[in-house]
Amino acid sequence: MKRSSILVAALALGVLWQLAAWAVHRPILPPPLEVVRVFAVEIVGDLGLDFLASLGRVVASMALAVVTAVPAGLALGQSPALNRVFSPVIYILYPIPKVVLVPVILLFLGISDLAKVVIIFLILFFQILVLVRDQAAGLRPELVASVRSLGAGRRALFRFVYYPASLPAILTALRQSIGTAVAVLYVAELFATQRGLGYYIYLHGSTLFDYPRMYAGVLAMSLLGLGLYFGVDGLQRRLCPWQFAR
Amino acid sequence: MIALEGLTFHYPDGTAVFEDFTWRVASGEAWAVLGSSGCGKTTLLYLLAGLRLPSAGEVRIAGERIHRPRPRTGLILQDFGLLPWATVRDNIALGLRVRGFYGPDGKHAPAGEAVTARREITQTWIGRLGLEPIAASYPGQISGGQRQRTAIARTLALNPDLLLMDEPFAALDAPTREDLQNLTLKLRRERKLTTVIVTHTIEEAALLGEQVLVLGRLPNRFARHVANPGAGDPAFRTSPAYPAACARLRRELEAAR
């Protein structure tokens, strides 16, 4: 996607928002420029701190998910025996909407940061696990055979075949689950916390009725999601250049 | 160079492909293995490569019993086996990197032969096979012929003494196929390689195999083979003896069925 077309799309959305604000003409939909002004002021204060808190939680969850799901997915993907044992378990757990586990996890882990990280981690973990496993299992046997014929044993196969083959799967899984992760982050931050964009939006919207601030929070959350999405996209271009070579 | 002694191999479903099969290849010989699909020729190559293990009997190469891929055996497959995420240059360097990864342990790489000049060796083979213009391209961006050249360069960069090829040119168009057949003949002579080329085409077997092993009905119990002294020279393709050689192989192939 070209930068200029993204900019044009953002401007178009801004114009639509402005038109809607004129049409509605009530405090519950402030015009975009006012929200941007409040955002600019708040982001160097409370909103900025909440943004960093939310960002920290998502990034920690992502890191934890990659570190655990990738080795597990690779192990399952290259060992049909292991996969036979675990795939029914994954089959049952994968489609469970992890967001319904929020109350359970809060009960067990309390209202700590850890609870919020664990919730997002669960979502990402299964996405990455399944994609990496299928990618590793789907490698053509001829490819593995020919690399083995070059002398590669198990360790070299991991290093030169399974690991690079799973990179796109890892990044695709991350990109696909960022939307869900940020949505669940919002839900998780509604519960007993003093920091985070979810809390910020809820506080200003439902408690203080400060709508421009609430919208500034929504804007920050959208930017968080977008930023992560672009970040992973950029990483994919850097780490997987062959996917973009034409 | 190669000795199969009383080799027996069954597919996982129990089908016997080879039963008490004995076959010998002397050092420097050029063999073609000819047969229709399902006759076990690819299985034979995988057994020689150490990628499959016999149910009974043994595979010996250069006197050593084969339990796993042997460092000095090169293998080239029909679908090239290139890493899609690595450039042509990195694909050619792959075998050398794998050797560097383990060191000269005698198991994954020949003992006492540390890889010291990976870049130079890679560059030499890129130049040798005319791959310089596409050295930075990915396999998905180049033609089938260029991919097979890359696979050949990757294998020869490891300086093998035995080259196994499984239908290496079957997916290529006729001019590219002839071009690569000629290249194979040239490299074979130059590197004094023992070669075993598996093919289902009579014409290819007649051109590349100085000896032709004909496989047929399962299980294969003895090595039916034909001497084909004219092979090994690109000019054989246009000589009057070539159609006769093809006709003889066709008769053998039919008799084996």
**SS3 at position B135:** coil
pLDDT band at A208 (very low <50, low <70, confident <90, very high): confident
Q: Tell me the ipTM for this assembly.
A: 0.87
Strand partners, B7: B21
pLDDT band at A15 (very low <50, low <70, confident <90, very high): very high
Q: Which domains does chain A have, with CATH numbers?
A: 56-192 (1.10.3720.10)
pLDDT value of position A207: 87
> What is the token pair recorded at B145?
């012929």
Is a pLDDT exceeding 90 seen at residue A17? yes
Is a pLDDT exceeding 90 seen at residue B59? yes
B18 neighbors B44 (Cβ within 8 angstroms): yes
pLDDT value of position A187: 86
> What is the token pair recorded at A40?
């600019």
Which residue of B78, B94, B122, B164 is the best one to mutate when testing the A interface, meaning the one whose CB has the most A CBs within 10 A? B94
- Closest residue by Cα to residue B242 from B203, B216, B215: B203
**SS3 at position B221:** coil
- Residue A134 contacts by C-beta under 8 Å, 6 or more apart in sequence? A77, A169
Is a pLDDT exceeding 80 seen at residue A95? yes
pLDDT value of position B62: 92
pLDDT value of position A58: 93
- How many Å apart are CA B192 and CA B155, to the nearest integer? 15
Is a pLDDT exceeding 90 seen at residue A41? yes
Is a pLDDT exceeding 80 seen at residue B11? yes
For the segment B79-92, what is each residue's pLDDT rounded down to a tens digit?
778 999 999 999 99
Higher pLDDT, A78 or A218: A218
> Of the candidates A146, A155, A159, which has its C-beta nearest B77's C-beta?
A146
Q: Which residues of B touch A245 (CB under 8 A)?
A: 137-138, 140-141
For the segment A112-132, what is each residue's pLDDT rounded down to a tens digit?
888 889 989 998 899 899 999
Kindly state whether B51 is in contact with chain A, defined as any CB-CB distance less than 8 angstroms: yes
pLDDT band at A139 (very low <50, low <70, confident <90, very high): confident
Residue type at position B141: Q
pLDDT value of position A142: 87
Kindly state whether A92 is in contact with chain B, defined as any CB-CB distance less than 8 angstroms: no
Residue with tokens 């009905």: B217
Mean pLDDT of A64-93: 91
pLDDT value of position B195: 94
How many helices and strands (H and E) does chain B possess? 7, 10
> What is the token pair recorded at A96?
């469970």
For chain B, the residue count is 257
Kindly state whether A242 is in contact with chain B, defined as any CB-CB distance less than 8 angstroms: yes
pLDDT value of position A184: 86
pLDDT value of position A101: 85
Residue with tokens 């890191």: A63
pLDDT band at A8 (very low <50, low <70, confident <90, very high): very high
B123 neighbors B131 (Cβ within 8 angstroms): no
- How many Å apart are CA A154 and CA B196, to the nearest integer? 27
pLDDT value of position A113: 86
pLDDT value of position A30: 92
Residue with tokens 């209202």: A111
Residue B98: count other Cβ atoms within 10 Å of its Cβ: 25
H-helix or E-strand spanning residue B34 = strand B30-34
Q: What is the mean pLDDT of chain B?
A: 90
pLDDT value of position A80: 87
A111 neighbors A176 (Cβ within 8 angstroms): no
Residue B178: count other Cβ atoms within 10 Å of its Cβ: 16
* DSSP assignment letter at B76: E
Q: Do B108 and A149 touch (CB under 8 A)?
A: no
Residue B65, sorted as left (phi over 0), alpha (psi -120 to 50) or beta, turns out to be beta
Q: In the Cβ-directed half-sphere of A172, how many Cα atoms lie within 13 Å?
A: 13
- How many Å apart are CA B236 and CA B199, to the nearest integer? 18
Which of A:164-183 have CB within 8 Å of B?
164-165, 167
Higher pLDDT, B106 or A167: A167
- How many Å apart are CA B75 and CA B221, to the nearest integer? 25
Residue A11: count other Cβ atoms within 10 Å of its Cβ: 10
Task: List the B16-25 sheet strands across, edge first.
Answer: B16-25, B2-10, B56-61, B64-65
Mean pLDDT of A233-242: 90
Q: What is the mean pLDDT of chain A?
A: 90
For the segment B132-190, what is each residue's pLDDT rounded down to a tens digit?
999 999 999 999 999 999 999 999 999 999 999 999 888 888 888 998 999 999 998 88
Higher pLDDT, A197 or A194: A197
Is a pLDDT exceeding 80 seen at residue A136? yes
Mean pLDDT of A183-210: 87
Q: Do B154 and A160 touch (CB under 8 A)?
A: no
pLDDT band at B93 (very low <50, low <70, confident <90, very high): very high
Least Cα separation, residue A58 to chain B (angstroms): 29
pLDDT value of position B12: 87
pLDDT value of position A220: 94
Q: Do B154 and A150 touch (CB under 8 A)?
A: yes
Least Cα separation, residue B79 to chain A (angstroms): 7
> Of the candidates A142, A155, A167, which has its C-beta nearest B79's C-beta?
A142
Kindly state whether B151 is in contact with chain A, defined as any CB-CB distance less than 8 angstroms: yes
**SS3 at position B130:** coil
For the segment B199-222, what is each residue's pLDDT rounded down to a tens digit?
999 999 999 999 999 998 888 888
- Chain mean position to CA A219: 17
Kindly state whether A152 is in contact with chain B, defined as any CB-CB distance less than 8 angstroms: yes
Instruction: Sketch the domain layout of chain B as residue ranges.
Output: 88-158
Q: Do B109 and A246 touch (CB under 8 A)?
A: no
Is a pLDDT exceeding 90 seen at residue B60? yes
Q: Do B81 and A146 touch (CB under 8 A)?
A: yes
- How many Å apart are CA A177 and CA B147, to the nearest integer? 36
